[in-house]
Structure 1
């Protein structure tokens, strides 16, 4: 293998490892939206509706 191919493969492996690490990091910090169920914040009316009611 010549020097250019070796440098390319090393950089490609480093890049792929960095992408997998970033993807794993993001996936551990977030949750699937469907797994939360119905939160009170979703069921209760929002603040914008309360402001509109007060104006009327």
Structure 2
């Protein structure tokens, strides 16, 4: 294997590892929308939560 192919292979592996780490980091900080319960803000519009004046 010549030097250019080796450098390309190393850079490709590093790029892949960085992208996998970023994907894991983003997925660990977010939750699946279906796992949350029904919040009042989701059920009723925010205008109905205001008191009558």
**4+ long deviations beyond 6 Å:** none
TM-score (norm 1): 0.77
Q: Give CA deviations for 1:19-56 in whole Å, capped at 9, x if unaligned.
A: 00000000000001111021111113224x67xxx8xx
Q: Which runs of no fewer than 5 residues in structure 1 stay unpaired?
A: none
What is the root-mean-square deviation of aligned Cα atoms in Å? 2.0
- Structure with the higher fraction of residues in helix conformation: 1
Q: Which runs of no fewer than 5 residues in structure 2 stay unpaired?
A: none
Aligned residues: 51
